[in-house]
Structure 1
Amino acid sequence: MTPGSRTESGRLALGSRRVSRWLLSRLAGSVFVLWAVATLTFFAIRLIPGDPAEAVLGGPGSQASEETLEQVRRDYGLDQPLVAQYLQSLGRLATGDLGSSYALKVPVGELLAAQLGGTILLAVVALALAWLIAIGLSLWSTTGGRVAASVGQGIELTSAALPHFWLATVLIAVFSTQLGWFPPVSTGDLRGLILPVVTLALPLSGFLAQVMRGTLLDTLDSPFILSARARGEGEIGIRLRHALRHAAIPGISLSGWALGYLISGAVVVETIFARPGLGRTLLQAVTLRDVPVVTGVVIVVAVVYILMTVVTDAASRLADPRLRLEETR
């Protein structure tokens, strides 16, 4: 074996060890996040006034007898100490058992599987639209002079501060009631998806544009940009080929958080637009004190957030060669 081959083998072995450590740290962090989410959800849902046994029987209006309530408590383990209920809940979650819905009497896994697709579609399309708006706004505000910079900054601040419920109400009033372009509630087709997507995307786009604009301005003063200008490359090519990629790195790193933000916003949006999904399911479950459904929704959202964080971390390394260089040292 030549010295060069030994050196290359050593680099590959070092790279494999670094990837293994990265995966192990991600796995340990994911387990901790899921445990923390399950724990906080378990105790928080029990702070809601009411008896879980009544939720099993259909709510306070069921007028169930005390004997029936006692039987339900025994059947569901609600008569045991809180710590014992907590440990049993963790044990079920560790095996992938989310339990059955108190209100609907169906497995939580099946219920969430039927609702997950709609929420993920809504969040992913909204994230894509938010990125398109943020890229366009940041490019325009950094190339259009002082007026464009001032107007763009105002648009970014205003968009980032818009509450979802207020924006949804305005969009329905303008584009549904007055203009009649889009339906005010979900219809299951593309037209029924547009207003919910815009409602979620606009506030996020303002935040992403703020992050990208600041990074883009710093990147345009970097030495490699000055070198590109010295080679005679045009300003459009510099921004699209060089500066934009570096400016997008902070936004890419925040995309995992952004997806979680969009899913949490879906609670409001899906309720206002009567759109089926995890957000609307979560709101109904909290109202009915349906503990297994609430826990299941939160766990699923946490898993989606973890997966998205891993993907965005990998995308950041692909977009930024400096991160890959640090890993090989």
Structure 2
Amino acid sequence: MKFLALVARRLGATLVVLWLVASAIFLAIRAVPGDPAEAIMGGPGSQASEQALAEARAAYGLDRPVLVQYAMFLGRLAVGDFGTSYSLKRPVAEVMGEVLPPTLLLASCALLTAWLLATIGGLLAVRATALGSALGSLAEIVAAALPHFWLGSVLIMLFSTALGWLPAVDTGTPAGMLLPVLTLALPLAGFLTQLLRDSLATALGSDFVLAARARGESKTSVFFRHALRHSMLPVLSLSGWAFASLLSGAVVVEAVFARPGLGRALLSAVLARDIPMVTGIALFSAAVYMLFMTLADAIASMLGGRVHAA
């Protein structure tokens, strides 16, 4: 029942978030100077006639009052109709179906890599000396603050230009994915390692660890059976936010490494004022964020129950 209640609350929150995102996009697009009909006709350089622009406005309902446009906009979204891309002249859902898998693969690999690096960093931090702990903490802060575009450029210069080990652009091979994955994963790993380090320090000094040691359990058993399991819970709870941040970071990474995906499609849509495409991608990103937040909270809740039972 608790799980169902959690899902129901998250579902309601998801609908509210999607409505707010859609409303913000509707208002933001109309606040940008320029005529949306020109974007439909191919942009200002298309030299479309006034008659053609008027016909485009009528076809897309842009000649109606703003409130009517807003109601029509929400009505189409409610039935899953994202419309047709202005620049590509294709259904938005069809285009997203093509660009979505590469981005989801990139974000998933980056999340797993960040988790692996954070776990290794947390384990090393527990056994480090005072100097090693200070250096590790500094490395975590620096990694978490690295901008994706700068980090990607440095990795290209180091591993592609200087050493020649890896391709500078995505080639569709595992080697071509390595640099984009590292570019996305390293800043997130720095943040997760800081969180895991603090959680481990708290868990190792808690009463349940002292009680386990008093029962005669070894240091290794206490660490892995109790301290590590407890310290993973707050990190796991942030996995939904982490995945959403990776999707947003993919906009930059896919552009740096010339990788096809949702990020490059969003960048192109923004530059072309492709309202349907921008709306579809933004709403999808919000939905994915809420979905992963729900899954992360549910898994953390179940694991938390098992941890307390142990």
Tell me, yes or no, whether TM beats 0.5.
yes
Indicate whether 1:300 and 2:284 are aligned: yes
How many angstroms apart in 2 are the aligned matches of 1:74 and 1:266?
36
CA contact (8 A) 2:103 2:250 kept: yes
Structure-to-structure mapping, 1:1-329, within 5 angstroms:
16=1, 18-321=2-305
TM-score normalized by structure 1? 0.91
Q: 1:155–1:206: 8 Å Cα contact kept in structure 2?
A: yes
Note the alpha carbon deviations across 1:135-158, whole angstroms, 9 max, x for none: 111111121121221111011101
Letter in structure 2 aligned against 1:147: L
CA distance in 2, matches of 1:310, 1:316: 10
Q: Give the number of the structure whose alpha-carbon radius of gyration is greater.
A: 1
Secondary structure (helix, strand or coil) at the match of 1:302 reads: helix
Identify the residue that residue 13 of structure 1 maps to in structure 2: none
- Deviation per residue, 1:111-131 (Å, 9 max, x gap): 001111111111111011001
Question: Is the alpha carbon distance of 1:79 and 1:266 closer, same or farther for their aligned partners in structure 2, counting shifts above 3 Å?
Answer: same
1:101, CA displacement in angstroms?
0.3
Instruction: Provide structure 1 residue ranges, at least 5 long, that are not aligned to the other structure.
Output: 1-15
The amino acid that maps onto 2:164 is G
2:31 match: secondary structure: coil
Change (3 A) 1:242 1:323: closer
Please say if residues 141 and 151 of structure 1, whose CA atoms lie closer than 8 Å, have aligned partners that are also in contact: no
Deviation at 1:228, TM superposition (A): 2.3
Contact 2:226–2:307, Cα closer than 8 Å, also in 1: no
Identity of aligned residues (%): 51
For 2:173 and 2:228, how far apart are their aligned partners in 1?
Answer: 34
The whole-number CA distance in structure 2 between the counterparts of 1:27 and 1:167 is 36
Q: Which shifted more, 119-128 or 23-32?
A: 23-32
Equivalent pair of 1:160/1:204 in contact (CA under 8 Å): yes
Partner of 1:10: none
Q: 1:324 to 1:137 in 2, by over 3 A?
A: closer
How many pairs does the alignment contain? 309
> Over residues 80-102 of structure 1, what are the superposed CA-to-partner deviations in whole Å (9 max), with x where a residue is unaligned?
12221111110000001010000
Q: Is the CA contact 2:42–2:87 (under 8 Å) kept in the aligned structure 1?
A: yes
Q: Structure 1 stretches (4+) deviating beyond 4 angstroms?
A: 322-325
| Mapped partners of 2:179, 2:29: distance in 1 | 32
Contact residue 98 and residue 296 of structure 1 kept, 8 A: yes
How far did residue 257 of structure 1 move? 0.6
User: Cα offset for 1:323?
Assistant: 9.3
- Point out where structure 2 has 5 or more consecutive residues left out of the alignment: none
Q: Secondary structure at 1:98's aligned position in 2?
A: coil
Q: CA RMSD in A?
A: 1.5
Q: SS of 1:46's equivalent?
A: helix
TM-score (norm 2): 0.96
Aligned counterpart, 1:6: none
